[in-house]
A and B are shown apart, each in its own frame.
Chain A
Amino acid sequence: MTIDEHLHHTFGFSSFRPGQRETIESLLNGRHTLSMLPTGTGKSLCYQLPGLMLDGAVLIVSPLLSLMQDQVEQLKIKGEKRVIALNSFLQYEEKHAALSQLEQYKFIFLSPEMLQLPYVISALCARSIALFVVDEAHCISQWGYDFRPDYGLLGKARKELGNPLTLALTATADKKVRSDIRKTLCLDDVSEWVFSVNRPNIAIDIEVLQEPLEKQKRLQEIVHFLQKPGIVYFSGRKSAEEAVVYLKQHGITRTAFYHGGMDIGDRLLIQHQFLNGDLDVVCATSAFGMGINKGNVRFVIHYHLPSQMEAYLQEIGRAGRDGKPAISILLYVPGDEKLHEFIAESEFPDEGQIRQVTEYGLHPRDVQPPLSETQERFLVHYAKAADQHRESRATFIKDVRTTLLERKAEKRFQMKRWIEADSCRRAAYMQFFDEPPPNQLNCCDRCGFDRTLYKESRQVKEEADQLNWRERLNLLLPGH
């Protein structure tokens, strides 16, 4: 089959989205490829399709367990059963069973730390590898959004795997980050495909309010007005939960919250309800959205200022994947950025915690107060790095912490400047990625847009569940 036939028959699409064809053809020509495609334009097709046409396995490195599971499920639902995810959550026996039968699998998803294990590498080497995919490749760079220290070791792993054909995928990477990706993965000869970060069908709106207390009321008005479904992002779990209660009290009943503090089963259910159209609004923290493939999201609202431009673009990119008009609204109260100062600090261990490990030799797991997963990963990684550089662990780790915090502060400041500027929102963020200003209709609050395009036109459906339990059971399990 040709790539077009695969697209129609296997994936059921009539045409490629921007960048997909270029990326796939580049790979099929045997070229290492770095592709930057805007969020929400079907990046996974870029390795799924060539994967089916090449002999051998496709390895996909993915930064998050939940993202990996989403991708595995999406492949399975398309009928591809030769899929497995290898991560640290697998039991020892399961991992070994999987590794001894690798030839059964076409698509092998891995967390980066799995590629640090010699027995995993040797098992993979025994299987012929058609394609090595680094998803969310911006995680490689300290300059990137969402830096993951263990992504920095992927170059070594790639070498150990015999330098297989490689695809680095990202949605947000400026020049500097792209150069870091090439360097870290040792991709000297690489085709680079950079597509515009612009998503022209998403209007950009920023509303500046004077008081934090005005936000709930304003949110409620906006949600009533806008066509649904949509996502509202919060920077804290509690505010997301409170907003749900408030929205429900004001007649927006089909709404639910989603955050990392919920148990896995509940999180999955909210995700399914959203996908199945049972919910109009999900009030969520940034934990929600990655890996969710829903075309008809009509709005994304930021209740709090996002930590940086890249995060903002990733999150608004979940709107309007079907190409129809969608809107992104950011509610800003001067001083909102303070919240992120606090959040940024909490992502790293504090000086006392660092000292407990470096000076008193405690195991990271015994540190008081206990370290979060991110904090522990940070400490362990940079303790090792310090040893390699033959530097004092304490100083090295503290220096890294300071540098990264400064960088985050810089990114926050950039975001604040963007909000306060009088110029076109879209032109400004495209400039971050060295793109020329666009010229389009329905652009942003500075250039003006037609609000009625985003207005709710349907009658809001009332929750009309009057079934008794027998009827409910008979609908679920028919047969009599």
Chain B
Amino acid sequence: MRCLDAVILHMLKEVEGERTASSVFHLLKGKKSAQTIQDAHLYKLAKWFQTAPFLKMDTFDQLIQQLLQTGCLEGERQRLFVTEKGRNAMAGVFQKTGCFPFLSGWKLAGTAPIFFSRLQLIVQVVSHLAYSDRTYYPITRDEQVQSWVKHFIKESPFEKKALADQLNRELSHVFEQQPEQPDCLLLRFSGHGQTGRTAWQTAEMLNMETTEYWFRFLHSLHAIVQTATEDDGQLPLLKQLLKGITVSVPLTESARKTASYLHKGMTIEQIAEARRLKQATIEDHVVELALNDPQFSIRPFVDEQKEAAVLQAGGTSTARQLKPLKDQLPDHSYFQIRLVLAKESRGLK
């Protein structure tokens, strides 16, 4: 069984037939919809959020089909259950790989790729500087990353030649701290005398199944980002690499429109009427805004007391479904509960 299969089984097991296979797909892809983001938190699957951005719907469907055929899953696409056989196979994979404790898709899926892209280019530039080798093709064509790195080198307090030494020291430090083989990352770097390998090639060199490599790579990367974030002065270069990474909020077009109406001071009812949409749809937009926009205030819709009540009822972690929460909080609307949950999960980002 491939690692990706095991991850999918694990996620299906957590949602226990309460969510469809598609919701697992959207989670792995990192779809920024209210439903997916809520699922991530309700079912404690936030770490897997956007950890398989390469997945395509048809390959995912094939995977599910195979898992059904081999008897690892049962039921139908809308309601799937992991069988005993599936659980054993999955446990077999995780026994080998561990359960990726540092993986943190929800928090880092946006930051980590940019961090890695900057790191790859910095290593390449610094390596060539150290060897006084000026002719090379940059490892990324992303102009934002290129100009960021140019600025970084120019502003760096370290002498050009001392940079290699410092970067070496910092990378050694974080490689020792993180849980995977350092080669998972190191082989991906280009520099003087080494051309970076693709993920596929690295997996092959390390004798790993490709999706296993992929998750180990992410695991290692996320661990390093967290070490660098929490660092108190030993890792000035790596910490600097995390500065100013802004992950743009990809709101749906329709939610954007609703936001502009809200700015004009219209109520949900008024917006629904003006846009000839159902009130529930507008409410979905508001939840989407609450999830994605750090400036967005939920106050017009839920007062402080009600917000506190939801949190007290365990709305952040234990509840797996809205229904039991709602039962505890008869004065709250579903919309209000969802808004509070949305705001809370934003805090986790």
Contact = CB atoms under 8 A, between A and B. Distances in A.
Contacts of B43: none
A477 B191 contact: yes
A276 interface: yes
Contacts of B165: 477, 479-480
A356 B173 CA distance: 59
Interface in A71-117: 73, 77, 94
A419 B63 CA distance: 43
Nearest to A278: B195
A477 B137 contact: no
Interface stretch (A149-157, A263-271, A434-442): A263-271
Nearest to A272: B195
A275 interface: yes
B162 A77 contact: no
Contact of A272 (B123, B167, B183, B190): B190
Contacts of B263: none
Interface in B33-68: 54
A479 B164 contact: yes
B214 to A, nearest CB: 12
Interface residues of B, number: 44
Contacts of B117: 265
A477 B193 contact: no
A271 B196 CA distance: 11
B171 A273 contact: no
B200 interface: yes
Nearest to A476: B191
B131 interface: yes
Given A472-B186, A473-B186, A476-B123, A265 B140 contact: yes
Contacts of B164: 477-479
B167 A477 contact: yes
B151 interface: no
A73 B137 contact: yes
B182 A269 contact: no
Nearest to A244: B200
B175 A469 contact: yes
B198 A477 contact: no
A300 B330 CA distance: 73
Contacts of B196: 269, 272
B163 to A, nearest CB: 8
B172 interface: yes
B198 to A, nearest CB: 4
Interface string A458-480: 00000001000110111111111
A473 B172 contact: yes
A273 B166 CA distance: 27
A69 interface: yes
A148 B62 CA distance: 37
Contact of B127 (A269, A278, A476, A480): A476
B181 A477 contact: no
B186 A276 contact: no
A478 B130 contact: yes
A472 B168 CA distance: 11
Contacts of B127: 476-477
A117 to B, nearest CB: 20
B206 to A, nearest CB: 11
A92 to B, nearest CB: 13
A336 B345 CA distance: 56
Nearest to B187: A472
A266 B199 contact: yes
A476 B201 contact: no
A262 B194 CA distance: 21
A371 interface: no
Given A269-B197, A469-B182, A469-B183, A476 B138 contact: no
A26 to B, nearest CB: 31
Interface string B49-90: 000001000000000000000000000000000000000000
A66 to B, nearest CB: 9
Interface of A: 69, 73, 77, 94, 256, 262-266, 268-273, 275-276, 278, 465, 469-470, 472-480
Given A476-B168, A477-B167, A480-B168, 18 more contacts: A73-B137, A262-B198, A264-B141, A265-B117, A265-B139, A265-B198, A266-B199, A271-B137, A273-B195, A276-B195, A469-B182, A470-B172, A473-B186, A474-B168, A476-B186, A477-B165, A477-B168, A479-B168
8 contacts: A269-B190, A273-B195, A276-B195, A278-B195, A473-B172, A476-B123, A478-B131, A479-B165
